[in-house]
Amino acid sequence: MHLMGIDPGFSGALAVLDENLKIEFVMDMPIIMVGKKRELDEAKLATIFGRWRLRPMSIGLEKSQTMPKQGIVSTGRYMASYGFLRGLCVGNGIPYHLIQPQSWKKAMMPDMGREKGASIQKVAQLYPELSLTRVKDHGIADAVLIARYLKLNILNGTTSSKDG
């Protein structure tokens, strides 16, 4: 079974691990510019999901929530993108689990801070061959850790997907 972790933000990412938690695929969230606004590249995402849907797969999708001091327009765009990702899972028949950010961060980085750089440090420890040198690589690191959390905590039965 393959495991996909998704950090759904515009600076998020996708990561696919095999059943032994080996990284098979990582990429930044595909984005296009529509005027001066960033939007998900929905066609590219549909292609990616279509490519993986024929393999046994389960997806861990970080549960979106509104952020303090975030404007209503930004929140609306973010939540629409999150809904699109959920729709891709359903439309491709891929089971998915909504995972609270606090849950995966607590489990995957127990003795570390919760800032964006912490996930990069943790993934560098687990996968030294994966080069995460850009500031925005926290999205890839988060996606990898979400996929690991899915395997180790939800699919292995220690946490329910509702809590996740």
Domain tally for the chain? 1
Report pTM.
0.91
Tell me if 160 is assigned to some domain.
Answer: no
Confirm whether 149 is domain-assigned.
yes
**Residue numbers of the chain with a pLDDT score lower than 50:** 162-164
What residue type is assigned to position 132 of the chain? L
Nearest partner of 66 among 86, 45, 42, 82, judged by Cα: 82
Per-residue pLDDT, 112: 85
CA distance 29 to 44: 10
Domain assignment present for residue 161? The answer is no
pLDDT for the residue 70: 72
CA–CA–CA angle 79, 113, 164 (5° rounding): 45
CATH code (residue 110): 3.30.420.10
**162 is a domain residue:** no
Say if 163 falls within a structural domain.
no
User: What pLDDT was estimated at residue 158?
Assistant: 61
Q: What is the pLDDT of residue 164?
A: 45
Structural domain of 146: 2-155
Q: Is 35 exposed, middle or buried (0-12, 13-18, 19+ CB in 10 A)?
A: exposed
Assign 48 to helix, strand or coil: helix
